[in-house]
Amino acid sequence: MVTRTAGETASKTTLETGSFERFASICAILAGIGSLLYGIAFVVLKNGMLSSLFLMLGGLLSTVVLTAVYRRVRTVNESASLWMLLLGIAGAFGALLHGGYDLANAINAPNVSAAIMNLPSAVDPRGLLTFGVTGIAVIILAWLIGSGGQLPRVMSYWGYLLGVLLVILYLGRLIILNPQNPLIAVDALLCGFVLNPVWYIALGWALWRGWGKR
């Protein structure tokens, strides 16, 4: 029977964590690039199939990033970190399912009226999970980053801005509804083309460099 000492177990755990963080850093950078491509496909190209695909991929990739980030910030506040992870995963799966729903309709458009097609997604109405819940998770993560030193502190301010704008974007889509309204349009452009891509790429850079590892 082979037994490991406490030092060997700790070393193995550290190695596994480092490998996963490298993988998560790549996923974060890809998520940032995917967020930008989603914005281009949705706003510029107006291609439903591509935008749905990038939304799905972004949701899937973000689950890896959230898991790695949770391991970093849980020492700051275990309960708040777990809450952030649960909300973040819910938002990620909301984006994944919403993207999958739109992709299915883009590939094989159902034979229904335009009024029915314009109904909110049953799994993510008006972006409740993709924008609203995800925004709250980002705000919590921003607070955890600001309270500890596991990630660059400047990301805390960026996270607060992104999180608040995501929540406002959800409320705008819920109440105002018209995507051409300046409040929704400007918010969506800022989040999709600047804040969200930079947020994920910065997370990827910090994880790759091993920022704040103890």
Dump pLDDT digits (tens) for 21-37.
999 999 999 999 999 99
**Domain assignment of residue 184, given as a range:** 15-209
| Domain total of the chain | 1
Confidence grade of residue 10 (pLDDT, cut at 50, 70, 90): very low
| Calpha distance 77→114 (Å, rounded) | 48
In a domain? residue 39: yes
pLDDT tens-digit readout, 136-188 = 999 999 999 999 988 999 999 999 999 999 999 999 999 987 878 888 999 99
pLDDT of 116 reads 67
Q: From CA 144, how far away is CA 79, in angstroms rounded?
A: 11
Task: Identify whether 2 is part of a domain.
Answer: no
Q: Please report whether residue 115 resides in a domain.
A: yes
Residue 185 maps to a domain: yes
pLDDT, residue 43, reads 87
Of the candidates 63, 140, 136, the residue with the CA atom closest to the CA atom of residue 96: 63
Q: Nearest CA to 195 among 162, 156, 153, 154?
A: 162
d(CA 51, CA 147): 35
Q: How far is Cα 210 from Cα 213, in angstroms, rounded to an integer?
A: 6
- pTM to 2 decimal places: 0.89
